[in-house]
Amino acid sequence: MTLSALGAAGTFSGSYHTAVAVTNKQILVSPLQGAQQQRGAKGQPTFGFTVQWQFADSTTAFVGQCFTDHRGKETLETVWLLREEVPSRKHTWKATRVGTSIFTRIK
């Protein structure tokens, strides 16, 4: 995941290149859009972002919190909800998946 600088209103954009997918198609870098709560006194802001997958008919929404340890290492802990396109409402039961992810900053 690569993120732009945080805008004045707390918004950001970027790209996401996943290593995990349930597809035989080539995995492509996909755009993301999000927003972060302004850092408070504790400096552990919450955020959310969506990814529109360029290689699949699905979108994922992530929500989470950024934790910074005493050495300045940032870790993002998220819960995500993926929704894929299905041909009709009768197939909606298999259209949604849920999971968790943890991201650490690599410079």
Q: What confidence tens digit (pLDDT) does each residue in 16-40 have?
A: 998 776 777 888 999 999 999 876 6
CB distance 52 to 77 below 8 Å: no
23-51 b/e with 16+ CB inside 10 Å = b? eeeeeeebebebebeeeeeeeebebebeb
pLDDT at 4: 87
Please name every residue paired with 49 in a beta bridge, in sequence order, or none if there are none: 34, 62
Q: Does domain 2-104 have CATH number 3.40.50.970?
A: no
- In whole angstroms, give the CA distance from residue 16 to residue 32: 7
- In whole angstroms, give the CA distance from residue 48 to residue 95: 21
Q: Look at residue 106 and tell me whether its pLDDT is greater than 80.
A: no
Mean pLDDT, residues 71-93 taken together: 93
Residue boundaries of the structural domains of the chain: 2-104
pTM of the model: 0.85
